[in-house]
Chains A and B, each alone.
Chain A
Amino acid sequence: MKRQFADNELDTSLSRVDGNEKVSGAATYSAEYAVPGLVHAVLVTSNIAKGSITAIESREAETAPGVLAVISHLNAPAVPGWPALKQPAERAPVGTAFRVFYDAFIYFDGQPVAMVVADTQERAIHAAALVRVTYQQETHQTHFERNVKSAGIPQNVQRSKNSPFQDYGRGDADAIAEAEVRIEAEYTIPTQHHQPLEPHAIIAVWEANDKLTVYDKNQGVKSAQGQLAQAFKLPRDNVQVVSKYIGGAFGSGIRVWPHTIAAVMAAKQVKRPVKLVLGRDQMFTSVGYRPYTAQKLRIGASKDGRLHAMVHEGTGQTSMYEEHLERTVLATRAMYTCPNVSTRYRLLPLDVNTPTWMRGPGDATGMFALESAMDELAFALKMDPLEFRLKNYAETDPERNLPWSAKSLRECYKLGAEKFGWENRQIEPASIRRKGMLVGYGMASSLYGFHRHPSKARAVMRADGSVTVQSATMDIGPGTGTAMTRIAAKVLGLNAKKVKFELGHSNLPDAPGQNGSATIPSVGSAVHVACEALKSKLIALAVKMSEAGKSGGQVVVTDGQGVRNGRVFGSGADDEGVSFADILKYHKLNELEATEESKPGPERDQYSMFSFGCHFVEVHVNPLTGEVRVVRVVTCADVGAIINYKTARSQSIGGVVGGIGMALMEHSEMDHRFGRYVTTDFASYHIPVHADIPPIEVYYVDKPDVHVNPMGSKGLGEIAIVGVAGAVANAVFNATGKRIRTLPITPDKLI
């Protein structure tokens, strides 16, 4: 039942179908399309956080060699999907996505205020430096702690009674006071940025006055197509979005951002294809981030370790013009059995750009706090933290009072603890030293909600029996094409080499964007049913062929039992079957096609659906310098059936690496005098490097969840990171006796 990821499974796994392109440099990312007549754009950004533009002196830039245009709100082509500017102009009301080059208002530092287009990149960079912008500055508020008292209930939530972000309570809200043992603590995570290795980039090409093609870095070609069609008032089919290879995104590509619109505008203005690549510094203010979030937890239990009450309050930051909501406090309602639970979520608007979802959005933040608090309470109870979690294991969803569609978290705990050697942990902190280092063990649980969206896929068999499967899904890194190839090959009884999967183009069948760990559940299901439909057609044609007695000397397939090795078989023991190619040949078909849509059904109301997991971490802390090294990680997940071990394992490892970054180093620091990030590159915004990452062991409880979809498979992207930061913080406490509640856990907090 429990399958660990062993070497032999690596061998039976499929290697990435695009591996060859990626290792040879042949994979083409958004900025790399050789479009004839291409010109280059560079953004000029604001250096105040609030106020308005009073003048833009652009003559010097305009007359610089090679410059084709300097675009700003003073001369930008109208975006027909936006309302005409009111006079006198007013600041955008809450709920308005930032409109680039629309008016003179400044909402955040780093806001695009002008754009230079020139024939070469060097000339565009030079000319951008010649643009002088003057402002009328207003007092900005960017400091979270100083303004947290102004946090309130999001307008969005005030309007919607059924919003999951409404204040929540079950049982008695005051029960925390009666708990025999209780803790109260505040946890903070600072702003953190996705910073994928590939900067966001776009090439915008107006093929005709009403036809637009963009090569764009995003996480959903169909959604980008829709948003661009809406902004530029074009028929949807007149907009093509090509995003075949994406150099990581982690959430930063879920929306169409202002710079994308700016490039499309510029291409319209100069009547040439325009390329815009964001600078690494611009990546801090252009494509969202994990919001600064403060949380307060009060949790209490009986002396024997049964949770009695949990109160979880969270406040996240957002911009002045949009409300970005996260699941921060929601996990606390469902994670453990507890009779009295209340949660509260508030938002604090600041003069910053809007945050967005970043890997494990809300849950990675909330579970850092909850899993730290659980560790604190276990310590107060003098109880093993794993035992404490098992004692409060939720057999059904305590929030919705529904059975889980499947939950094997107990198996995860057992497997992880065994592989890690959890029994060697000492409850008393700082009790193990090795080579002068303080050794600590920590663990945390993980959960992530299951998401499945309607998706379509098309499967086409060619005369030679090979198959092409298509869907407008994406691959930002997990290996979508590889997993889909595996699903198709399995359903069709074909060697994976005979299957080709196409993605990342808006003219393919509808699919959701790649986010919320929903790709395998959604698109995988569509691929599954499309290939099932193709298989049925093949079997029907094979039977017809046999009925006519013309199966070309092959054993007659009377009942078409199934497919194997590229052939349709009957039920006879000696049945040699008939090859797919022969079936098509006999019926004089050049190809055979099936397009299907797959969507979730009533099971969503009958079951509560989550992925679960846990992480075990060993840290070594230098008692003199406070340096924390993660030396070993065991991660274990219950995500239903695993489609392809090799790529799944890499995704789990990647989540742990992201979690180590979140725990120990990632911190976007702002100089509040200017409302400006001072971390604007990889020298100041630290992400893990090779030397920071130890061996990571990955295990799965590979048991299909029969209620979620035809493969019984849930997503993996988010669950891999949720909880990791908590496990690291708990290990640091175990090593040092110091409880660090504000991430990242840097040496200054330990000495």
Chain B
Amino acid sequence: MANDQTNASPDASNEDRRFFLKQSIAIAGLSAVPTGLLQAALEPDDGPVGNAVKIQLSLTINGKRKRISVDPRMSLLDLLRENLGLTGIKKGCDFGQCGACTVHIDGRRTLSCLTFAVMQHGRKVTTIEGLSHGGQLHPLQEAFIKHDGFQCGYCTPGQLMSGIACIREGYADSPDEVREYMSGNLCRCGAYPNIVDAILEVKKEGLKV
């Protein structure tokens, strides 16, 4: 019952590829994708993947440039977790409703489960693994430990990525403001008050985030 993609005839797979690209452009708004990427897409590096082809893209992740070929159906979150071993960022719902997968793309907080990896060609992605430098934790990471801003720890990387963005965006001047601008990040253990305290303290102390 196990089978291999090499069984598929080249013609059939080409059909599939063209069909997929047409569909993708129409449905997913891929028309915004740079032409270089589309070119790359037409030259699959290792054959068809189901009814799709692998696509080459280049990304800067935590300061390191990477060239990767991905299944176009793969979310950025799955690329990070499944292919690149960056499991620090979490999959909570896969629907953009919980915030556990929050990363920074070109400095902006983004739900990595709601964006295809192929849409991030040429962008700079920062994950939780990219926050600390040389073993030195980011001030907000320190503050989370001090204020016990987590219990199970699963929503924590997303809370941190959002919390840093929240401070940078200038929405961390009062408890109500922090609560409002952090409400996209769910925590089922209920660490909310401690998270708010941690963010407010880092903002108040004027630490570089």
Residues of A close to B95: CB separation below 8 A = 280, 681-683
Determine the chain A residues whose CB is within 8 A of the CB of B156 once the complex forms.
22-23
Interface check A483, CB cutoff 8 A: no
Per a CB cutoff under 8 Å, which of B3, B186, B196 touches A67? Answer: B3
- Is the CB–CB distance between B150 and A22 below 8 Å? yes
In contact, A690 and B157 (Cβ under 8 angstroms): no
Say whether A241 faces chain B, with CB atoms less than 8 Å apart: no
- Restricting to B134-159, which residues have a CB under 8 Å from any CB of A? 137, 141, 144-146, 148, 150-157
Q: Is A23's CB under 8 angstroms from B141's CB?
A: yes
How distant is the Cα of A498 from the Cα of B156 in the complex, in angstroms?
A: 26
Asked whether A280 lies within 8 Å of B180 as measured between CB atoms, the reply is no
Smallest distance from the beta carbon of B48 to chain A beta carbons, Å?
A: 6
Q: Are A690 and B192 in contact (CB under 8 A)?
A: yes
B91 interfacial contact with A, CB 8 Å: yes
A131 within 8 A of B: no
Q: Does B118 contact A (CB under 8 A)?
A: no
The answer on a CB contact under 8 Å between A25 and B127 is: yes
Q: Which residues of A contact B190 (CB under 8 A)?
A: 653-658, 688, 693
Find out whether the CB atom of B151 lies under 8 angstroms from the CB atom of A650: yes
Task: State A609–B180 Cα separation when bound (angstroms).
Answer: 42
Q: CA–CA, A477 to B187, complex, Å?
A: 11
A23 vs B5: C-alpha distance when bound (angstroms): 41
CB distance from A481 to the nearest CB of B (A): 12
Chain B residues closer than 8 Å to A63, beta-carbon distance: 3, 7
CB distance from B183 to the nearest CB of A (A): 4
List chain A residues, Cβ under 8 A from B189: 197, 248, 477, 650, 654, 657
- Distance between A723 CB and nearest chain B CB, rounded to angstroms: 16
Residues from chain A with a CB closer than 8 A to the CB of B185 are 689-690
Contact A20 B145 (CB under 8 A): yes
Residues of A within 8 A of B186 (CB): 197, 682, 687, 689
Say whether A196 contacts B88, CB under 8 Å. no
Given contacts A20-B137, A650-B194, contact A196 B151 (CB under 8 A): no
**A247 near B90: Cβ-Cβ < 8 Å:** yes
A197 x B50 contact (CB < 8 A): no
Bound CA span A662–B153, Å:
22
Interface SS, B side: loop
The range of chain A's interface size is 35 or more
Among candidates B50, B129, B196, residue contacting A690 with C-beta atoms closer than 8 Å: B196
* Residues of chain A within 8 A of B172, CB atoms compared: none
- Per the bound structure, the CA–CA distance linking A688 and B82 in Å amounts to 30
B182 contacts partner chain A, Cβ-Cβ < 8 Å? yes
- Whether B2 pairs with A198 at a CB distance below 8 angstroms is no
Q: How far is the CB of A216 from chain B (nearest CB, A)?
A: 15
Number of A-B residue pairs, CB cutoff 8 Å, is 211
Tell me, in angstroms, the Cα distance from A398 to B142 when the chains sit together: 49
**Is B132 engaged at the interface, CB distance under 8 Å to the other chain?**
yes
Is A691 an interface residue, CB under 8 A from the partner?
Answer: yes
Q: Contacts A20-B137, A65-B8, A122-B73; is A27 near B1 (CB within 8 Å)?
A: no
Most chain-A Cβ atoms within 10 A of its Cβ — which of B8, B92, B148, B155? B148
Q: Which residue of B lies closest to A475 (CB)?
A: B152
Contact across chains for A24 and B151 when beta carbons are under 8 A apart: no
Instruction: Judge if A68 is at the interface, Cβ distance under 8 Å.
Output: yes
B57: Cβ under 8 A from any A Cβ: no
**Would you list which residues of chain A between 509 and 546 have a CB under 8 Å from chain B?**
none
Contact B49–A246 (Cβ < 8 Å) = no
B193 at the binding interface (Cβ < 8 Å): yes
Determine if B63 is an interface residue (Cβ-Cβ < 8 Å). no
Which residues of B have CB within 8 Å of A656? 190
- Chain A nearest CB from B10 CB (Å) reads 14
Q: Is B81 an interface residue (CB 8 A)?
A: yes
Residues of A within 8 A of B49 (CB): 65-66, 120, 122-123
Q: Is B178 in contact with chain A by the CB < 8 A criterion?
A: yes
Contact of A491 with B by CB under 8 A = no
- In the docked arrangement, what's the CA distance between A493 and B131, Å? 36
A26 vs B129: C-alpha distance in the bound complex, in angstroms? 8
Interface locus among A11-19, A163-171, A596-604, A742-750: A11-19
Whether B183 pairs with A197 at a CB distance below 8 angstroms is no
Q: Give the segment of A28-36, A154-162, A320-328, A547-555 that binds chain B.
A: A28-36
A122 to B50, Cβ gap below 8 A? yes
Contact mask for chain B residues 72-109; partner A; CB cutoff 8 A; 1 contact, 0 none: 01100010011001111111111101101000000000
CB of B165 within 8 A of chain A? no
Which residues does chain B contribute within 8 Å of A479, judged by CB atoms?
A: 151
The answer to the question of A141 belonging to the interface, with a C-beta cut-off of 8 Å to chain B, is no
The CA of A656 and the CA of B191, in the complex, are separated in Å by 10
List chain A residues, Cβ under 8 A from B50: 64-66, 122-123, 126-127
| Contact call B141/A24, Cβ cutoff below 8 A | yes
Contact with B along A59-96 (1 / 0, CB 8 A): 00011111111100000000000000000000000000
Which residue of chain B has the shortest Cβ distance to A694 in the bound complex? B193
Q: How far is the CB of A515 from chain B (nearest CB, A)?
A: 15
Residues in chain B near residue A34, CB distance under 8 A: 85
Query: What residues of B have a CB within 8 angstroms of the CB of A64 in the complex?
Result: 3, 50
- For this complex, 12 residue pairs linking A to B, each with C-beta atoms less than 8 Å apart, are A19-B144, A23-B144, A67-B1, A120-B82, A122-B49, A123-B49, A197-B154, A197-B188, A270-B2, A647-B148, A651-B151, A682-B186
Give 6 A-B pairs besides A19-B145, A66-B49, A477-B153 with Cβ atoms closer than 8 angstroms. A22-B156, A23-B150, A24-B141, A120-B82, A277-B91, A682-B186
| Nearest 9 pairs of A and B residues by beta carbon | A25-B88, A657-B190, A247-B154, A22-B153, A654-B190, A477-B152, A477-B151, A25-B128, A682-B97
